[in-house]
Amino acid sequence: MIGPQDIAAARPAVERVARRTPVLSSRTLSERCGGVVALKAENLQRTGSFKARGTSAKLAALGRDRCARGVVAASAGNHAQALAAAARAMGVRCEVYVPADAPMSKVEASRGQGAIVHEGGDSVDACLATAKARAAKDGLAFVHPFDDPDIVAGQGTLGLELLEDVSDLAKVVVPVGGAGLCAGVTVAIKSARPDVEVVGVRVAATTAALTIADGIAVKHPGELPLSLLRDHGVDMVVVGEDETAEAMVLLLERCKLVVEGAGAVGVAALLGGQVQPAPEGTTVCVLSGGNVDAGLLATVARRHESQSGRRLVLLTRVADRPGHLAQLLAEVADTGANIVDVAHVREGLDLHIRETAVELVLETRGQEHAEAVVGGLGESGYEVRRLQ
């Protein structure tokens, strides 16, 4: 178990490595959710996540002698990056085990920090077992990603910053995977301000292969963090993939913040109504990380464009003769839609021998305009099927 004195003791080591991240106001979230909402931007932390706090505290507690043969860990990616950076600063060897489906951006970033990365295993839990065996066999110092008192104490320094930076702090919403962050923040805040409510947010899927919130894709929280959360009566809510994706897009579009799925689940809970903002005072949502693959971010953004009607994919058919495609495109232009892509589709459809199907990808001004485009083409005699 840990107490506020442990978090205070960890703070000097954390501050030598981690930066004090800003608390940003959000008018968009405040208006949508019906209360004052602010964002703790740990996505701007060194190595891109809150994990820099825990690893710096742990290596300081271990000391150079205990780390002489190196350190080893298992991670979905963020803990690996943070440990590699802390180990490099100390000048010790670092090995990490990551699941086979870990995001490539996180894997490469860990290698870039100097870590020896072993890829394999179907989950973080499987990698943990391998990392522990490696530590026992060769005398490396094992650094657990969340179920460790020094790690929890280091993560708890985030809570100290919130107490100092938000004078009317009333509620804190924290992503939960292994629960080290939520436990540390809870101890720090509840010890000083028992009236402040802490809420943990988990994602429905629990394996990285099934969720965009890979950073919290842990089957079960750690025993130590979970016991701390139970002792302090912390409530837990669950959000889904679609809600998380929409939260990522809102943070990108409205707040100009790149936040990974795991870091966006708190915002998803506020937008989805699983968590209500405090009626008085400020509710702070912790954005725990920003390490997201560019490809995934693009996919999430495209999906949002389609759902909002600003990206429209249509399938129609025209006579396979000169001039008919040009006529179709002219009709589209008359609707005011922007043509992004055009493709002939001749296989897999029941077409006349002198017909071709045409797939159109269009940009529109929103759902109402998209419906007007579809309606206008229908009135012009085209049989249109909306694909997205």
208: tokens are 């990285």
d(CA 53, CA 47): 10
Give me the CATH code for the 4-49+149-300 domain, please.
3.40.50.1100
Coil/strand/helix, residue 231: helix
Q: What is the DSSP letter of 308?
A: T
- The class level of CATH for 308-386 reads alpha beta
232-258 burial, b for 16+ CB within 10 Å, e for fewer?
bebeebebebebbbbbbbbbbeebebb
Coil/strand/helix, residue 162: helix
What confidence score (pLDDT) does residue 352 get? 84
Contact between 239 and 265 under an 8 Å Cβ cutoff? The reply is yes
Main-chain dihedrals φ then ψ at residue 216, nearest 5 degrees: -120, 25
d(CA 48, CA 295): 17
Contact between 121 and 127 under an 8 Å Cβ cutoff? The reply is yes
Run means of pLDDT, 10 residues per run, the chain, 388 residues: 95 95 96 97 96 97 94 93 94 94 89 93 88 95 96 98 98 96 98 97 78 83 96 96 94 95 97 97 97 89 82 92 94 93 87 90 91 93 88
d(CA 280, CA 336): 46
What confidence score (pLDDT) does residue 208 get? 63
Residue range 8-34, pLDDT digits in tens: 999 999 999 999 999 999 999 999 999
Contact between 106 and 119 under an 8 Å Cβ cutoff? The reply is no
Domain range 51-142, its CATH number among 3.90.226.10, 3.40.50.1100, 3.40.50.170, 3.10.150.10: 3.40.50.1100
Cβ within 8 Å of residue 204, ≥6 positions away = 211, 238, 239, 240, 241
Tell me which residue of 252, 280, 290, 248 sits closest to 267, measured CA to CA: 248
d(CA 133, CA 115): 18
d(CA 305, CA 232): 41
Cβ within 8 Å of residue 243, ≥6 positions away = 268, 269, 271, 272
Cβ within 8 Å of residue 80, ≥6 positions away = 73, 96, 98, 106, 107, 110, 115, 117
d(CA 320, CA 355): 5
Residue range 261-316, pLDDT digits in tens: 999 999 999 999 999 999 999 999 999 999 998 888 888 888 888 888 788 999 99
Strand runs labelled E in the chain: 23-25, 36-41, 71-74, 94-98, 116-119, 141-142, 169-175, 197-203, 235-239, 282-287, 311-319, 338-345, 355-363, 385-386
d(CA 123, CA 207): 7
- State the pTM of this model: 0.85
What confidence score (pLDDT) does residue 290 get? 95
What confidence score (pLDDT) does residue 209 get? 63
Calculated CA dihedral for residues 217, 170, 39, 123, nearest 10 degrees: -10
Cα separation of the two ends of the chain? 51
What confidence score (pLDDT) does residue 298 get? 87
d(CA 182, CA 234): 9
4-49+149-300 and 51-142 in the same fold: yes
What confidence score (pLDDT) does residue 124 get? 85
287-300 burial, b for 16+ CB within 10 Å, e for fewer?
bbbbbbeeebbeeb
Q: Which amino acid is at 107?
A: V
Q: What is the CA radius of gyration of the chain?
A: 25
Residue 381 exposed, middle or buried by CB count within 10 Å (0-12, 13-18, 19+) = exposed
What confidence score (pLDDT) does residue 207 get? 64
**Domain spans of the chain?**
4-49+149-300, 51-142, 308-386
161-176 burial, b for 16+ CB within 10 Å, e for fewer?
bbbeebeebbbbbbbb
d(CA 289, CA 261): 8
